[in-house]
Amino acid sequence: MMRAEAILESRRLAATGLLCVALATPAAYADPDGSALSGRRVRVWSFGAPALVKEVATVVHTDGRQMTLRLERSGEIVVVPYADTARIEVSAGRGGHRWRGALVGAVVGLAATFAADEIRGHAYRGDVKDPLLSVAAGAVLGAALGDAVKTERWESVSIGR
């Protein structure tokens, strides 16, 4: 009987915890008037007037029905109703590509080792020293180059319609 009561109590506590999370989540992420977007750099797709396709802008003002944007290319101020908005992405900042660069550099280093052996007329002898050094050097160089290349990261946000 004690075991059944313990199981029941643990289920009751788990259900209470899930209910608390479920009730807290909408309040934490709800943004019915879009005020969290004010001042943020966004990328917008809209199909109304004005029609915007992947237009980068800064949100000047929002309310529950529309947002006022300053377009980056022209500096023009436009008002875009949420009803005409297909998609909104918010800038998450600029970042490098260190790990992707390291991976590409390692593959290029390995390929260069085998290509050099082929050009010199040497067959691969099973020695891991040359390929390992080439992979390491390629990975380090690739990571440095990948980190130097900065691109903007974008996160999709839901549109409160």
Contact 47, 86 (CB under 8 A): yes
Task: Quote the tokens at residue 88.
Answer: 């909104």
- CATH number at 39 reads 2.30.30.520
- Reported pTM: 0.54
| Residue 2, domain member (yes or no) | yes
Residue 29: the pLDDT is: 34
| Number of domains observed in the structure of the chain | 3
Angle in degrees, CA 111, 99, 88, rounded to 5: 125
CA within 13 Å, CB half, 58: 8
The answer to whether residues 62 and 110 belong to one domain is: no
| Residue 158, domain member (yes or no) | no
**Range of 66's domain?**
31-93
Output the tens digit of pLDDT for each of the chain's 161 residues. 466 565 556 555 544 544 444 444 333 334 545 567 888 999 999 887 778 888 899 999 988 788 999 999 999 999 999 888 888 899 988 888 899 999 999 999 988 888 887 777 776 666 667 788 889 999 999 999 988 988 888 988 876 55
